[in-house]
Structure 1
Amino acid sequence: MMFLKEWIDSHPNIWEFIKFNILSNVATIVNFIVMWIATSAFTGFGWHLIPFKFFIFNYADNIEQNLGTAGFLSFLLATALAQTVNFFVQKQFVFKSNAAFKDAIPKYIILAVVLVIVSAALPAYSQKFFRDIGVSANLVPTLANALNIIVQVVISYPAMKFIVMPEKK
Structure 2
Amino acid sequence: MTENNTTTRNPEKPTSVSVKDNKERYTGALGPMRRWIDEHPNIWEFILFNVLSNISTATRFIVAWIGTAVFVSAMGMTQPFSFLIFNYTAPNSNGLGGFLTFLFAEVLAQVVNFIVQMKWVFKSDSSFKDAAWKYAILAIIVVVVNLVLPGYVTDMCVRWGMNVGLASTVATIVNTLLAVVVSYPLLKFWIMPKKSDK
Shift of 1:94: 0.4
Aligned to 1:162: 189
Partner AA of 2:174 in structure 1: L
What is the alpha-carbon root mean square deviation over aligned residues? 1.3
Q: Please list every run of 5 or more consecutive structure 2 residues that lacks an aligned counterpart in the other structure.
A: 1-29
Partner AA of 1:131 in structure 2: V
Aligned to 2:149: 122
**Mapping of 1:86-97 within 5 angstroms?**
86-97=113-124
Helix, strand or coil: the match of 1:47?
A: coil
Q: State the alpha-carbon separation in 2 of the partners of residues 148 and 83 from structure 1.
A: 12
Aligned length: 166
TM-score, with structure 2 as normaliser = 0.80
Work out the percentage of aligned pairs sharing the same amino acid.
48
Shift of 1:136: 4.1
Q: State the alpha-carbon separation in 1 of the partners of residues 164 and 131 from structure 2.
A: 40
**Mapping of 1:31-46 within 5 angstroms?**
31-43=60-72, 44-46=74-76
Aligned to 1:153: 180
Q: Please list every run of 5 or more consecutive structure 1 residues that lacks an aligned counterpart in the other structure.
A: none
Q: Contact 2:87–2:151 (CA<8 Å) still a contact in 1?
A: yes
Q: State the alpha-carbon separation in 2 of the partners of residues 103 and 129 from structure 1.
A: 40
* Runs of 4+ deviating beyond 4 Å: none
1:91-149, Cα deviation, whole Å (9 max, x unpaired): 00000001111111110001000011011111111122323334344311101101100
**Mapping of 1:20-169 within 5 angstroms?**
20-43=49-72, 44-48=74-78, 50-62=79-91, 65-169=92-196
Partner AA of 1:91 in structure 2: M
